[in-house]
């Protein structure tokens, strides 16, 4: 009997289900906010990356409408054909001034930007060195590239130094780390990373998707939060879809690097440009982030309050001072059970499981936003404590 083509699809899906690793998308109704509506039920939303509460902010909704009136909706083409509107240039210059960087290239997503950089800059004779907990977009790009890739232990500068010292003969070396790690919430020691790269003639790239807008002076990110200029990092990348509440991404660096992207990066050259109305809205969001310090102050207060209550209730909180506050559970099926229990209590908190995180480190990924109130956090912590204790009693 002939083998059915692509039979592995069903086999692997069934395997995922048996391992409690199966995933599916759940549609929400309406806007991102303090509460989300799913199948007609309201849930306190503790799974959003909308850290500053901008995704549904009336000022940004109006900005998108105004942008559509001024510039239309679709860009009409790639950036090198007809898809680069004057608003793209204006907002790019605004971002450069705000972030203190020399030049910027816009991308449709952070995933695309990360894949583009690794594919563009590195060949089989080069060396890519990544923090072990870097985002899947970075790891996958390295694994699918002909470049030699090595990983250093998470935030372990000594291990990074060992790798760099053992590869002095390689000319092109790129070290990549997240600024704020998306599943752990902790921050990279950027100053030490930079020192090692400078000492070993390597470039440093920081993926700051979860740091931009939240950390640093005027929300300029993880790098500035450690008293380093963004322009001193060889490649600084981030997205507009987390704290800025919109979508899209950018890569910044020297004018020469951005010129090289413009001329040689296929994901940049052959992708339709970001919609101009959306870019206009990004500009307004950046202005709000830059000028409304109260959002970061309020978020910091909520983070401190959550950590205080978590300690009081002895929750297995992982070390993080950012809006990402993971609670380590361990087994995937246990994390799912606790997450489902919380949903019954009206709390939406996602269980994060392998392969997104290492085996036996499944967790509840609690994310805090300025939309939350202290009473929400009090309710959340008590419900998590009850769910964990109930699971232990079974």
Q: Which long-range contacts (CB under 8 A, 24 or more apart) does 385-392 make?
A: 385/313, 385/314, 385/315, 387/338, 387/341, 387/342, 387/345, 388/315, 388/316, 388/329, 388/338, 390/341, 391/334, 391/337, 391/338, 391/341
CA distance 286 to 291: 9
Buried b (16+ CB within 10 A) or exposed e, 98-115: bbbbebbbbbbbbbbbbb
Q: Which of 135, 173, 200, 372 is catalytic?
A: 135
Q: Which of 207, 208, 284, 376 is catalytic?
A: 207
Catalytic residue status for 135: yes
The strand pairing partners of 235, in sequence order, are 205
- The sign of the CA dihedral 231, 232, 235, 241 is negative
Catalytic residue status for 207: yes
Catalytic residue status for 210: yes
Q: Which of 88, 200, 242, 298 is catalytic?
A: 242
Tokens (6 digits) for 22:
């199966």
Q: Which of 45, 48, 49, 137 is catalytic?
A: 49
List Cβ neighbours of 160 (8 Å cut-off, separation of 6 or more). 129, 152, 175, 193, 196
Q: Which of 88, 119, 200, 210 is catalytic?
A: 210
Tokens (6 digits) for 225:
């939060």
CA distance 233 to 106: 18
Catalytic residue status for 178: yes
Catalytic residue status for 49: yes
Q: Which of 103, 112, 177, 182 is catalytic?
A: 182
- Residues with active-site annotation: 49, 135, 178, 182, 207, 210, 242
């Amino acid at each position: 009997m002939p083998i059915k083509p692509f039979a592995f699809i069903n086999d692997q899906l069934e395997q995922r289900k048996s391992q409690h690793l199966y995933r599916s998308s759940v549609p929400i109704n309406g806007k991102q906010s303090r509460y989300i509506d799913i199948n007609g039920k309201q849930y306190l939303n503790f799974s959003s990356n909308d850290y500053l509460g901008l995704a549904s902010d009336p000022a940004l909704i109006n900005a998108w409408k105004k942008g559509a009136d001024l510039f239309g909706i679709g860009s009409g083409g790639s950036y090198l054909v007809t898809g680069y509107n004057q608003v793209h240039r204006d907002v790019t210059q605004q971002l450069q001034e705000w972030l203190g960087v020399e030049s910027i290239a816009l991308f449709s997503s952070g995933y695309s930007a990360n894949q583009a950089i690794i594919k563009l800059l590195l060949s089989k004779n080069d060396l890519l060195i990544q923090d072990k907990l870097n985002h899947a977009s970075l790891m996958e790009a390295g694994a699918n590239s002909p470049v030699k890739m090595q990983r250093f232990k998470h935030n372990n500068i000594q291990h990074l130094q060992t790798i760099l010292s053992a590869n002095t003969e390689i000319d092109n070396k790129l070290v990549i780390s997240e600024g704020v790690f998306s599943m752990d919430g902790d921050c990279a020691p950027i100053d030490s990373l930079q020192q090692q790269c400078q000492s070993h003639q390597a470039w440093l790239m920081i993926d700051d998707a979860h740091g931009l807008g939240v950390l640093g002076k005027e929300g300029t990110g993880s790098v500035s939060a450690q008293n380093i200029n963004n322009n001193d990092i060889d490649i600084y990348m981030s997205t507009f879809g987390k704290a800025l509440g919109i979508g899209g991404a950018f890569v910044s660096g020297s004018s020469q690097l951005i010129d090289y992207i413009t001329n040689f990066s296929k994901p940049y050259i052959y992708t339709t440009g970001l919609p101009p109305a959306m870019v206009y809205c990004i500009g307004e969001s950046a202005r709000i982030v830059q000028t409304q310090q109260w959002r970061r102050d309020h978020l910091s207060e909520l983070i401190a309050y959550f950590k205080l209550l978590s300690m009081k209730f002895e929750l297995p909180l992982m070390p993080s001072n950012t809006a990402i506050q993971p609670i380590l559970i361990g087994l995937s099926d246990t994390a799912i059970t606790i997450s489902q229990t919380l949903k019954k209590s009206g709390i939406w908190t996602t269980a994060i499981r392998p392969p997104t995180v290492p085996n036996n480190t499944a967790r509840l990924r609690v994310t805090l936003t300025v939309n939350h109130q202290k009473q929400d956090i009090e309710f959340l912590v008590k419900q998590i404590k009850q769910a964990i204790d109930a699971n232990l009693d079974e």
